[in-house]
Chain A
Amino acid sequence: MNVSGLLGYFATFAIAAGAYSIASLGLNVQFGYTGLYNFGIAAFFATGAYVEGIITGGPSMEHLGGFDLPVLVGVIAAMVVSAILAYIIGIPTLRLKGEFLGISSLGIAETIRLIITNEKWLAGGVWGLGDIPRPLGNLVGPKTYNWVYLGLVLAVVGIIYFLVQKIVKSPWGRVLKAIREDEGVAAAMGKNVYKYKMQSLILGSVIMAVGGAFYAHYVGYLSPESFRPLMGTFIIWAMLMAGGKGNNKGAILGAFVVWGVWTFTEFFVNYLPSGLASRAGYINAIFIAILFQVLIRIRPQGILGGE
């Protein structure tokens, strides 16, 4: 039995889940509180990751950057770039309602992914963007390091959770909830719905980009493949829905639960009879689907439910 190894793996698991939970909090601002269907999370997640990689990465001849700057600079740059991107995307799309916004944002995320794929000078194109350092990596050994980085990620999750809680409880947050419940009523109260939606989109996208930035250090190497809709967008939707939309604790819990189901089920398939072993991957996928189904049946409102 190998408890320290299990704990060591748990640290890396929690780093990934932490990065995802940041993105999930961002989606919660947009969908959970404002009712914006953003199916383009991958665009902002990727923007955050790539900006972080370009700013903090070592020098490269093949793409823009790396500027070898501190992590904090990278995160701030990721926030700024994603805010600008969200603003540009918001102008045409926020005039759309519900599912229409969803479809167009999905298209925009794919556009961003294809731009990253094709513009080699920008981010290495299909070659990917390598050489992303491990923040504070020189201080401790690799196994201990995961705990240090986990601490950093969880601190950021905590800060963002605290800020988002403050924001949604403020008068501004109440306007968002009013828009979610009934746009017409909010407009009748004299609120500029479009402006509030734009602010919510930008805030959520900036948070997603922070998640992407910390994801970049987790994988150490970025390629456009990481930001396909499944792993870049829909898994984060699953996290928020599982945890409970409109509930920030739920957004974080959902990220850990979904990523846990996604990863820990793989340990079971080791115990399959050898005849089935070659199909283990598919059996694992079915297992994940069944667990989600069960969750949706038992708790359609998410584990913690909404507010």
Chain B
Amino acid sequence: MRKLFSASLVLALIIGLSVVGFSAEDTISIGTILPRTGALAAWGQFEGQATDLAAHQVNEAGGVLGKKLVLVHRDTKTNPTSGVDAANKLVNVNEVPVMVGANSSGVSLAVARAVAVPNEVVQIAVASTSPKLTTLEDNDYLFRTCPSDALQGIVLARLAYNDEGYETASTIYVNNAYGQGLSDNFEKAFEERGGEVLATVPYNKGKASYDAEIRKAAEGDPEVLMLLGYPENGNTILRKAIGTGAFENYMVADGMAGIPGVIEKVGAQYLEGTYGTVAQSPETKSLEYYKKGHEELFGFPPQRPAFLQNAYDAVILAALAMERAGEATGPAVKENLRAVAGPPGEEIDTSELERGFELIKEGKEIDYVGAAGQMDFDENGDVVSPFGILQVKDGEWKQIKVVD
């Protein structure tokens, strides 16, 4: 027992020392809460790198308020409990004014409710697309740099009803916040336009057979089947649905659109003419500069098409807002975030960060244009991003237009 006691004493000492660590006066810290392990680790790793790149570029441009910007990374382990714990560490131990993250909506919402809002710390979610983030009572401390699924539902409805002239549709969606959000918003927008949604069928991941779901969706012969899910099981569903011959037309959302494997696995000849929608990063100068910077700093290009640049933008926006506020506190950042993100003011992209900081110091307004879009926050802290409409042509996803 005595051995155990002394061992735990040593352990406590080590923990104490390592927690305290260095704390220099000439740095400003921002926290990240990203899924480094767990189900979404494949995203969190790379989002973390994108934030590192952003901090690197901010420091090259002279830092924030004359100080070096430092990121403190914490792991949400892709679950709300660990996410809240990680955020508590950032807020209490590191005293950050801003947290970038989380990735999934469930974690972001828990962190906002339990940590960010009560502690008056700004939280900028990077990949949480659930419409719930729009309506949460957040005292304006929760922002996000990715568009809400509500938007994509409307884009899909407009494509199906106005452009293609379908009057009946059914949806099969993956049973999580992403799929349900898309399906609900598509249904609402499609029926507002005068169309009729015959069935909305959720599917659970990893089942051996989806025949029942397909049969249910086929009732009443809808003109188009909206498949709102991920390739993992979505491919199987699509192949099966084509096999039954019950549907003439298919549409998919960003979970599957533009992903090459989908066409190969399902069969190009069957998908010819199928439409899909994806949140589109407009080709801004920031996007180019971000890709170039990524290659220079890490030696390889960004590993994911979306959400990495959203994390990157979140860090830069936080830095600009702190500069404009003149202090690094949550309430001050919250008051200044919209001013630097949107009009009025001179448009600044990430290659001109130094100039952006100069302008702010001179007391002028700027309008940041990010790598993932315009980044103009609305009153709910949401951003609007354009969507690309893709179509399968000759066995490949081709972008046919971009809609706002």
Contact = CB atoms under 8 A, between A and B. Distances in A.
Contacts of A285: 37
A280 B71 CA distance: 14
Contacts of A114: 204
Given A219-B113, A221-B114, A280 B80 contact: no
Interface in B194-208: 202, 204
A268 B19 CA distance: 8
A162 interface: no
A130 B138 CA distance: 11
A231 B81 contact: yes
A226 interface: yes
A281 interface: yes
A134 B104 CA distance: 23
Given A2-B23, A132-B113, A303-B4, A278 B48 contact: yes
B6 interface: no
B79 A5 contact: no
Nearest to A230: B79
Nearest to A15: B88
A67 interface: no
A142 B77 contact: no
B137 interface: yes
Contacts of B72: 270
A225 interface: yes
Given A226-B79, A280-B75, A220 B20 contact: no
Interface in A1-53: 1-2, 5-6, 8-9, 12-13, 16
* Candidate in A219, A262, A282, A284 with the most chain B CB atoms within 10 angstroms: A219
A306 interface: no
Interface in A282-306: 282, 284-285, 298-299, 303
B45 interface: yes
A48 B36 CA distance: 29
A32 to B, nearest CB: 21
| Size bracket of the B interface | 35 or more
Contacts of B114: 218-221
Nearest to B132: A127
A125 B85 CA distance: 24
A130 B136 contact: yes
Contacts of A282: 36-37
Interface in B4-54: 4, 15, 18-21, 23, 36-37, 41, 44-45, 48-49
* Candidate in B73, B77, B80, B176 with the most chain A CB atoms within 10 angstroms: B80
A130 B113 contact: yes
Interface stretch (B89-97, B253-261, B341-349): B89-97
Given A8-B92, A127-B180, A267-B15, A219 B74 contact: no
B38 to A, nearest CB: 8
Contacts of A2: 20, 23, 93, 95
B19 A128 contact: no
A281 B41 contact: yes
Contacts of B136: 130
A297 B381 CA distance: 51
Nearest to A303: B4
Interface in A220-243: 220-223, 225-226, 228, 230-231
A266 B89 contact: yes
Nearest to A263: B85
B21 A231 contact: no
B130 A127 contact: yes
Contact of A281 (B18, B37, B176): B37
19 contacts: A8-B92, A16-B84, A118-B175, A143-B92, A215-B81, A219-B113, A220-B110, A220-B113, A221-B112, A223-B106, A223-B110, A223-B177, A231-B82, A270-B72, A271-B21, A280-B73, A281-B36, A284-B37, A285-B37
- Top 10 closest pairs, chain A to chain B, by CB: A281-B36, A220-B113, A9-B92, A223-B106, A8-B92, A220-B114, A281-B37, A12-B88, A142-B118, A221-B110
Given A220-B110, A225-B80, 13 more contacts: A1-B23, A2-B23, A5-B93, A118-B175, A120-B180, A128-B132, A130-B136, A143-B119, A219-B80, A220-B113, A281-B36, A284-B75, A299-B4
Interface of B: 4, 15, 18-21, 23, 36-37, 41, 44-45, 48-49, 72-75, 77, 79-82, 84-86, 88-89, 91-95, 104, 106-107, 109-110, 112-114, 118-120, 130, 132, 136-137, 175-177, 180, 202, 204
Interface of A: 1-2, 5-6, 8-9, 12-13, 16, 114, 117-118, 120, 125-128, 130-132, 134, 137, 142-143, 145, 215, 218-223, 225-226, 228, 230-231, 262-264, 266-268, 270-271, 277-278, 280-282, 284-285, 298-299, 303
